[in-house]
């Protein structure tokens, strides 16, 4: 089972219907797919790789010297030398990351970082909005319906954040994950991952629920996945998928994840009828996204169903 790679440029041509069918399968059967020919200039993507590589060079010493996970792993390896029993680290991740939002301060070094990433974020936001439109069409919702939910009926701009991460080489990848398995909390996630260093794995909906599938690096592709809020809005039709990042011994994996989410005060509720045939058992609650996030931050690496249940009883 391989994660689909879809040529997004075909959406605007004779192969629109076939492309829509591929996107439907991506959302429903896998929860993840990759888009190529998105319209984002390769030249911009090359600059993004360069400035993100440069910024990590400035952060690298800090990661090695003071990252808590690096320290925890070093302690574990010491214990192993003393022949004590050691167990995999289950409460930390082997990653270096920071977040970009238009209204928060940005790193000023390297000088080209801010300008390049602002340009990149504008492109990704356009792509996210186009994809939400595609999703509305596929679900038979009126145009702009999901955006209306995300913006609290047009009161505010949808939340849009970008997480810049590196997963540096890890001496003992069997003792810690790059990022532990989770589903994403929000709406639509667009990920620009490393061209060469893999590590992202998904549990596809159409699989046996146990076998992790690699999201293979594809040059200049954008990986798409959906979060828990899209699962509720689509009444379970587009479920958020479990994914994780394996730590690797060699290579420093870069990933830039853009999150297009509802605002915290947005009311999230199913927008289409339940077609699962499971009746009441499949019903999702209605809640404020901010309330969901309060539960999510404490339970990110646990199953999502208790989170939905917690919101149902509020």
* Interacting residues with ligand AKG (CB under 6 A): 163, 165, 179, 184, 191, 193, 200, 243, 245, 255, 257
User: Minimum CB separation from ligand AKG for residue 245, in Å?
Assistant: 5
DSSP codes, 156-198 = SPPEEEEEEEEE---S-GGG--SEEEE--SSSEEEEEE-SS--
Task: Order the strands of the 243-245 sheet from edge to edge.
Answer: 179-182, 243-245, 200-202, 213-214
Q: Which helix (H) or strand (E) holds 64?
A: helix 42-66
Give the residue with the Cβ less far from ligand AKG, 38 or 255.
255
Residue 203 CB partners (closer than 8 Å, separation 6+): 181, 209, 210, 211, 212, 213, 241, 242, 243
Give the residue with the Cβ less far from ligand AKG, 145 or 243.
243
Give the residue with the Cβ less far from ligand AKG, 96 or 136.
96
User: Minimum CB separation from ligand AKG for residue 206, in Å?
Assistant: 20
Q: Which residue is nearest to ligand AKG (CB)?
A: 255
User: Minimum CB separation from ligand AKG for residue 117, in Å?
Assistant: 16
Q: How far is CA 101 from the centre of its chain?
A: 16
Q: CA 228 to CA 40: how far, in whole Å?
A: 27
What are the distances in angstroms from CA 31 to CA 15, 109, 138? 22, 36, 15
Give the residue with the Cβ less far from ligand AKG, 237 or 243.
243
Residue 153 CB partners (closer than 8 Å, separation 6+): none
User: Minimum CB separation from ligand AKG for residue 130, in Å?
Assistant: 21
The residue behind tokens 């994996």 is 253
User: Minimum CB separation from ligand AKG for residue 53, in Å?
Assistant: 15
Give the residue with the Cβ less far from ligand AKG, 177 or 184.
184
Q: CA 28 to CA 9: how far, in whole Å?
A: 21
Give the residue with the Cβ less far from ligand AKG, 136 or 184.
184
User: Minimum CB separation from ligand AKG for residue 27, in Å?
Assistant: 17
- Bridge partners (DSSP) listed for residue 268: 287
Strands 200-202 and 267-268: unpaired
Give the residue with the Cβ less far from ligand AKG, 136 or 177.
177
User: Minimum CB separation from ligand AKG for residue 183, in Å?
Assistant: 9
């Amino acid at each position: 089972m391989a994660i689909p790679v879809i040529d997004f440029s075909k959406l605007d041509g004779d192969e629109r219907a076939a492309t829509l069918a591929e996107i439907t399968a991506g959302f429903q059967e896998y929860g993840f797919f990759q888009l190529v020919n998105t319209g984002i200039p390769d030249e911009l993507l090359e600059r993004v790789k360069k400035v993100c590589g440069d910024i990590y060079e400035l952060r690298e010493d800090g990661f090695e010297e003071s990252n808590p996970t690096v320290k925890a792993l070093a302690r574990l390896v010491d214990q192993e030398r003393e022949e004590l029993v050691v167990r995999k680290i289950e409460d930390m991740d082997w990653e270096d990351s920071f977040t970009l939002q238009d209204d928060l301060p940005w790193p000023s070094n390297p000088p080209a970082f801010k300008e390049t990433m602002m340009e990149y974020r504008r492109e990704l936001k356009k792509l996210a909005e186009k994809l939400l439109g595609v999703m509305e069409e596929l679900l038979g919702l009126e145009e702009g319906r999901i955006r209306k939910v995300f913006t609290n009926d047009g009161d505010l701009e949808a939340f849009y954040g970008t997480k810049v991460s590196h997963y540096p080489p890890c001496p003992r990848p069997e003792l810690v994950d790059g990022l532990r398995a989770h589903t994403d909390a929000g709406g639509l996630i667009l990920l620009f991952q490393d061209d060469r260093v893999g590590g992202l794995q998904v549990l596809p909906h159409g699989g046996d629920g146990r076998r992790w599938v690699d999201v293979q690096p594809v040059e200049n592709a954008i990986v798409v996945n959906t979060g828990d809020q899209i699962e509720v809005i689509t009444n379970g039709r587009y479920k958020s998928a479990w994914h994780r990042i394996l730590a690797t011994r060699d290579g420093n994996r870069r990933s830039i994840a853009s999150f297009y989410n509802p605002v915290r005060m947005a009311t999230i509720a199913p927008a289409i009828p339940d077609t699962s045939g499971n009746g009441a058992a499949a019903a999702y609650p209605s809640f404020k996204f901010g309330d969901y996030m309060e539960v999510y931050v404490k339970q990110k690496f646990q199953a999502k169903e208790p989170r939905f249940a917690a919101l149902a009883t509020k």
